[in-house]
Structure 1
Amino acid sequence: MANFALLPPEINSALMFTGAGPGPLLEAAVAWDGLSFELGAAASSFSSVTSGLASQAWQGPAAAAMVAAAAPYAGWLDAAAARAAGAAGQARAVASVFEAARTAMVQPIAVAVNRSQIVSLVLSNLFGQNAPAIAAVEGSYEEMWAQDVAAMVGYHAGASAAAAQLTSWQQSLQSLLGIPENWGVGNKGSNNVGNGNTGNQNAGNGNIGSSNLGSGNTGNSNMGSGNNGNSNIGGGNHGDTNIGGGNSGTGNVGGGNSGKQNVGFGNAGTGNIGGGNKGDGNIGFGNVGPTDTAAHSNIGSGNTGSFNRGSGNTGDGNWGFGNTGNGNIGFGNTGNGNIGIGLTGNNQIGIGGLNTGSGNIGFGNSGSGNIGFFNSGNNNVGFFNSGFANTGFEISGTNNTGFQTTGGTVTGAWNTGLNTTGFGNTGGEVTGAFNAGRYTTGFFNSGEQVTGMFNSGKSSTGFFNSGHANTGWANAGAVNTGFGNSGNTNTGGFSSGNLNTGFGNVGNGPGLSSGFANTGTGTSGFFNQGNNASGFTNAGDDTSGARNAGPDASGFNNSGFGGSGFQNSSDRGSGFFNSVNNGVGFQNSGFFNTGIRNSGVGNVSSFPPDDHGHSGFFHR
């Protein structure tokens, strides 16, 4: 539909004066009035007949049942009569608004005369003598344009206001037929199918919003579960229009992406295609590029810089493998503008040594202390690495073990987060796969400090939770212990109210907590001592899961704070059985690590003297 503000007066005026006018609306108003009268008369007659029968010839239980059954029909007839009368009134209102707008419009003949004048003046303006007259006529035309637009604005506002006052017939007909407003228990809103929803037209359990298909969503029109945002397809996404799982941002396709319009997994930035890329517009795996424009992006894997084509390059505009510098074409070159293999310097053409760096073992290395092929970083073991102290291939980060990774101290692949163990993670201190949230243990989570799968909320333990600090699954509310709750601080399932213990509650329960034997406030579950906690026997505040002593934690048997997983004593980490070293432990991921910033399995570090920890397996 065209925007009337952009249309010239020739079109706006012609449309208003050549149409059917207010006649059809006035005829419709007369018809609605007639229908209203007939419906009102039918309601009165129906009520009179039923009451007469019940008070005279027809007595007893059958008569009472008949009167009770007939009452909704009489009520519906009265309601329909009122709605018909309202429709008649609004039709007259729109007709009146139309007549007022047409009166305010410029007559089409006036517009035509103006345009004819301008044509005549222009054709006879051989020496510029008509310039003042042309300006005056054009000024008059602009006033006509403004007058028509103002009239149309008033018409649009009046017609919209009249339409907004029309009431739906659906609710009264639904009541007449005995159709429930919602199908299920614990729903707030209308036309929900499922349990514990807050909103309208949801199909599933524990959603907050409207038109969601799934469970535990917060937002509108999501298809899946545990999403926080709008129009997502999948699970555990935070943002809008994502397709997949565990994405944070907008328009991502895949898993564990953080940013916008990424396709793949573990990308951080905008418009990346592949896995483990950091920056904008990279195509491939494990690239670190700029964040200003996709025109400077890398194509390949393991590149650090911009506009590189190939793998393992450090710098800008390189074509090939393992180059360090800018504008090189070939393999293992160090410098700028070289074409060839193993050249050191600038603007050279030819073939140099096997390696251009120092202390390398292999071929095509331009860094130092490398073992392998086409490494442009230092102290790497493998091939196509542009980072530092990595073991694997196509890595542009630091101190990583694996492949196609841009993070630091990472064990795995396609990760852009720090201190991470797993695959396709953009969050840091993560153990698992395709997570965009930090300090997380599990899969496809975009929330932070989460233990489980497809959670977009923070500090939750379980599955498909979009609210925070939940223990269970498919909760869109906060601090619930159970499943399918859209309210807050409930112990049980399918409640849209707050502070309830049980199932299918719409209203609010008494007290400051729900559940059993909790001593904290704002808490759900069983035997919790912390505040704003859910789950079982947690002592920390803002905690979910079971038997956690530290605050801001999820999972089971953790004594550290701000982490996730199982039986960790270090802080701000994830994983399983990670512990402190000499009283210090934080930001670990993986299994059985001790100290600080480790990923992988069985690594030990301390601070001081270590400043970054270890990746991989069983380092001391």
Structure 2
Amino acid sequence: MNFSIFPPEINSSLMFGGAGSGPLLAAASAWDGLAGELGAAADSFSSVTSDLAGQAWQGPASAAMVAAAAPYSTWLSTAATQAQNAAAQANAVAGAFESALAATVHPVLVAANRSQLVQLVRSNLFGFNAPAIAAAEGQYELMWAQDVAAMVGYHGGASAAAAQLASLPQLLQGLPAAASQAAAVAISDNPMAAAVRSACDGSVSKAQILRQTAVARVERSVGIRPFPGAATAAPSVNLGVGNLGSNNLGSGNTGNTNLGHGNLGNNNLGSGNVGNANLGGGNFGNQNLGNGNTGNLNLGSGNIGNQNLGSGNTGSGNFGSGNNGDANYGSGNLGSGNYGSGNNGNANYGFGNFGSNNVGFGNSGPGGTAGNGNIGAGNTGNNNIGLGLTGNNEIGIGDTYFNTATNQFNFGGLNSGSGNIGLFNSGNNNIGFFNSGDGNFGIGNSGVTDTGFFNSGHVDTGIGNSGGLDMGFGNSGANMFTGNNLGIGNSGQNNFGVGNAGALNAGMGNSGSENMGMFNSGVGNTGNFDAGVDNTGDGNAGDFNTGYGNSGLINTGIFNAGILDTGVGSTANMTGVVANSGFGNTGTDNSGFFNTGAGGFSSGFFNTAAGGFTSGGMNSGSGNGDVGYFNSSTSPSIGFMNSGDGFDVGFFNSGPGDFNVGIGNFGNAAFDVGFFNSGATFSTGLANMAGAFLSSGAFHMGANQSGFFGF
């Protein structure tokens, strides 16, 4: 059978959808008991006939009796051996099933992955969620492969066991008629004799009768569920309530051997994890030491990827925080293989370089493009050695250099660009030192219109930012118009906080998207340590829950592993019985209290947003997907009291603009990152007003300005 053509939804449902290995184990026990009875009967029969022939009964009749009894005794012994073999093979099939079940992805995990993907795609208006979507699809492919491997192994084990089962021989065909009659008399007092005797009409062999009798005996007490069976075999032992699984120390877990609450998986030490062997909370993956990671083997929090040591990384093998790429040693790098921070490119050693293979800081190419192979600081171009050089293949400082391509010397000042104020600037219109970009204010900036130090992105305000439109420290984002981070060590897009690798998050250590809180690896959660979708509360690995430690779906309460449950520690599936969990909700598939939005799939309380898919409290408006409290925008907003067009992250953002990140941005402001910007567009900083466009810093009213007060 080709299991690879079936998705994990089918293979997992088959394995978890029936009676499990319990009936097979009961059948094995029954066959083993039958073998014991047949063996005892054979021994007793042989002993009785031997005693009779050797003592009280002598002569030809005794000899005839012994001759007639010998085949029957042999048949009883052979039948006992056959029954014992059947018991052994039934145990083997049950063992194969249990091994396959342990290796099969739980259906709830598959459903959570698909639900997360739908939510990510639904909110992926500008492609912000592409890394998270790819991660979700990659996890789904791993689930597919894991299920196929489990099913193939199960099929092989069951087939091998079945091959050892020979059909029962026609053991009674050669027995003399007298022996057959004696056997009939011997069983006349047996409670099952009537059925056996009535079937002995010559058309059915006694071996078939034996098989039917044994099967009837087993089926009378248990129901045999053949391959591909399911999982209600052994009684579970848990210390807690609402667990679906075994050996859990905690509550609301779906899985085995978890120490904590609301985990969806096995061997987790913490709460709200989706996956296995995590030490921490809110992880979506395996073997993470930390919180809110999406991936595997991360040491830190809020990472998307694998084997990161740090927080807020998008990629794998990073040592540091806020990196968007792989194998970086440092923070805020946009690229791979960098040693340092704030680099935009690959294999740089230093800080704030825009390009690749640079050693030093603040090196770039002309006009905000990449420069490569520079050694030094503030160089604009390629393959330069020195400080503040403009061009290629130069050695020197500023406008005094030796050109290795033409073998010519040039003598000039210490700045090689134009309109610069300061020293060793190779770009244009910079104020400060070692700036290779244009229109920068500060030190070592290689981007365009940056305010701060060692920024390699464009329109950044802060230190060591390699993304675009970032404000803070060590933010990498993607690039122009798709960074939009405010905080520290964010590698995602449109985040407000610290160490976020996802998109549209307000908080800390979030590797998912559209979350408000800390260490969430899911989507649309209001709370902390949530690995599911649209939960309100903490430590939820399931979806659309209101409460704490829920691994099921659409529950209101704590430690629930079921569906649509209201209360504590329930594992019941109330689908079709109730429309919502909680109290005072209208519509369907809502949890919490007094939610009246039309779209459904909301958690929290007093939400009236028309589109549904809301978490938090008192969110209203005509859109969907609000996360937080008191949001009233027409599209998803994350945080507190955001209004207007939506896609705002933070607090008190209002007006017709959208995609603002920060606090108190209002008016026609759009794509602003910072605080109290009014009417500015594509700007970062503080209190930039109408007319400010592509500006960084504070208090600007014009376009392409960095620094402060329009300078």
**TM-score, reference length from structure 2:** 0.62
How far 1:553 sits from its partner (Å)?
1.7
1:449/1:498 CA distance change after superposition, 3 Å: same
How far 1:605 sits from its partner (Å)?
2.5
DSSP 3-state at the match of 2:335: strand
Q: Which amino acid in structure 2 is aligned with residue 565 of structure 1?
A: G
Provide the residue aligned with 1:557 in structure 2: 630
Provide the residue aligned with 2:593 in structure 1: 526
1:311 maps onto 2:376 in alignment:
no
Provide the residue aligned with 2:652 in structure 1: 577
1:546 maps onto 2:617 in alignment:
yes
CA shift digits 1:233-291 (9 cap, x unpaired): 1100011221110011122121100011111110001111111100111111110114x
Give the Cα–Cα distance (whole angstroms) in 2 for the partners of residues 173 and 598 of structure 1: 58
Give the Cα–Cα distance (whole angstroms) in 1 for the partners of residues 247 and 386 of structure 2: 64
- 1:603-618 aligned within 5 A: 603-606=677-680, 615-618=696-699
Provide the residue aligned with 1:382 in structure 2: 442
Unaligned runs of 5+ in 1: 1-32, 45-81, 94-156, 166-170, 291-296
Unaligned runs of 5+ in 2: 1-28, 41-81, 94-155, 165-230, 365-370, 478-482, 683-689, 702-711
How far 1:317 sits from its partner (Å)?
0.3
Whether the 8 Å CA contact 1:336–1:345 is kept in 2: the answer is no
Whether the 8 Å CA contact 2:672–2:680 is kept in 1: the answer is no
Moved more, 506-515 or 84-93: 84-93
Provide the residue aligned with 2:545 in structure 1: 480
Provide the residue aligned with 1:421 in structure 2: 486
1:416/1:520 CA distance change after superposition, 3 Å: farther
1:189 maps onto 2:245 in alignment:
yes
Provide the residue aligned with 2:8 in structure 1: none
Q: Which amino acid in structure 2 is aligned with residue 548 of structure 1?
A: N
DSSP 3-state at the match of 1:270: coil
1:400 maps onto 2:469 in alignment:
no
Tell me which of 647, 655, 658 is aligned to 1:586: 658
Identity percentage over the alignment? 51
Q: Which amino acid in structure 2 is aligned with residue 219 of structure 1?
A: G
Tell me which of 356, 372, 391 is aligned to 2:432: 372
1:270/1:554 CA distance change after superposition, 3 Å: same
1:196/1:256 CA distance change after superposition, 3 Å: same
Whether the 8 Å CA contact 1:492–1:502 is kept in 2: the answer is yes
Whether the 8 Å CA contact 1:599–1:614 is kept in 2: the answer is no
Whether the 8 Å CA contact 1:598–1:612 is kept in 2: the answer is no
Whether the 8 Å CA contact 1:415–1:425 is kept in 2: the answer is yes
Q: Which amino acid in structure 1 is aligned with residue 629 of structure 2?
A: F
Give the Cα–Cα distance (whole angstroms) in 2 for the partners of residues 92 and 260 of structure 1: 42
1:458/1:172 CA distance change after superposition, 3 Å: closer
1:457 maps onto 2:522 in alignment:
yes
Q: Which amino acid in structure 2 is aligned with residue 603 of structure 1?
A: N
Provide the residue aligned with 1:322 in structure 2: 378
1:234 maps onto 2:269 in alignment:
no
1:173/1:372 CA distance change after superposition, 3 Å: closer
Q: Which amino acid in structure 1 is aligned with residue 287 of structure 2?
A: S
Q: Which amino acid in structure 1 is aligned with residue 386 of structure 2?
A: G
Provide the residue aligned with 1:64 in structure 2: none
Tell me which of 281, 293, 304 is aligned to 2:337: 281
CA RMSD of aligned residues (A): 3.4
1:211/1:270 CA distance change after superposition, 3 Å: same
DSSP 3-state at the match of 2:497: strand
Tell me which of 559, 569, 584 is aligned to 1:504: 569
Moved more, 498-507 or 544-553: 544-553
Tell me which of 339, 342, 356 is aligned to 2:395: 339
DSSP 3-state at the match of 1:243: coil
Give the Cα–Cα distance (whole angstroms) in 2 for the partners of residues 361 and 298 of structure 1: 27
Give the Cα–Cα distance (whole angstroms) in 2 for the partners of residues 247 and 521 of structure 1: 34
DSSP 3-state at the match of 2:651: coil
1:212 maps onto 2:254 in alignment:
no
Provide the residue aligned with 2:212 in structure 1: none
1:259/1:160 CA distance change after superposition, 3 Å: farther
How far 1:532 sits from its partner (Å)?
0.9
1:358/1:615 CA distance change after superposition, 3 Å: closer
Give the Cα–Cα distance (whole angstroms) in 2 for the partners of residues 164 and 354 of structure 1: 87
Provide the residue aligned with 2:416 in structure 1: 356
Provide the residue aligned with 2:670 in structure 1: 596
Give the Cα–Cα distance (whole angstroms) in 1 for the partners of residues 83 and 414 of structure 2: 88
How far 1:381 sits from its partner (Å)?
0.7
How far 1:587 sits from its partner (Å)?
1.2
CA shift digits 1:198-251 (9 cap, x unpaired): 112211111111111111011112111100111111100011221110011122
1:252 maps onto 2:308 in alignment:
yes
Moved more, 244-253 or 476-485: 244-253
Give the Cα–Cα distance (whole angstroms) in 2 for the partners of residues 190 and 338 of structure 1: 69
Whether the 8 Å CA contact 2:89–2:162 is kept in 1: the answer is no
Whether the 8 Å CA contact 1:341–1:350 is kept in 2: the answer is no
Give the Cα–Cα distance (whole angstroms) in 2 for the partners of residues 83 and 232 of structure 1: 49
Give the Cα–Cα distance (whole angstroms) in 1 for the partners of residues 453 and 625 of structure 2: 36
How far 1:400 sits from its partner (Å)?
1.1
Give the Cα–Cα distance (whole angstroms) in 1 for the partners of residues 157 and 561 of structure 2: 38
Tell me which of 508, 516, 532 is aligned to 1:443: 508
Whether the 8 Å CA contact 1:602–1:617 is kept in 2: the answer is no
Moved more, 241-250 or 367-376: 241-250
How far 1:394 sits from its partner (Å)?
0.3
How far 1:385 sits from its partner (Å)?
0.4
1:338/1:284 CA distance change after superposition, 3 Å: same
Whether the 8 Å CA contact 2:395–2:402 is kept in 1: the answer is no
How far 1:520 sits from its partner (Å)?
3.0
How far 1:493 sits from its partner (Å)?
0.8
How far 1:415 sits from its partner (Å)?
0.4
How far 1:423 sits from its partner (Å)?
0.4
Give the Cα–Cα distance (whole angstroms) in 2 for the partners of residues 158 and 378 of structure 1: 68
Whether the 8 Å CA contact 2:292–2:510 is kept in 1: the answer is yes
Provide the residue aligned with 1:223 in structure 2: 279
DSSP 3-state at the match of 1:310: strand
Whether the 8 Å CA contact 1:601–1:617 is kept in 2: the answer is no
1:281/1:469 CA distance change after superposition, 3 Å: same
How far 1:162 sits from its partner (Å)?
5.3
CA shift digits 1:418-445 (9 cap, x unpaired): 2221000012211110001111110001
1:372/1:493 CA distance change after superposition, 3 Å: same
Q: Which amino acid in structure 2 is aligned with residue 426 of structure 1?
A: S
**TM-score, reference length from structure 1:** 0.70
CA shift digits 1:432-487 (9 cap, x unpaired): 10001111110001111110000011110000000010000000010100011010
CA shift digits 1:113-135 (9 cap, x unpaired): xxxxxxxxxxxxxxxxxxxxxxx
Moved more, 203-212 or 483-492: 203-212
1:482/1:618 CA distance change after superposition, 3 Å: farther
Give the Cα–Cα distance (whole angstroms) in 1 for the partners of residues 433 and 158 of structure 2: 73
Provide the residue aligned with 2:350 in structure 1: 300
Whether the 8 Å CA contact 2:555–2:581 is kept in 1: the answer is yes
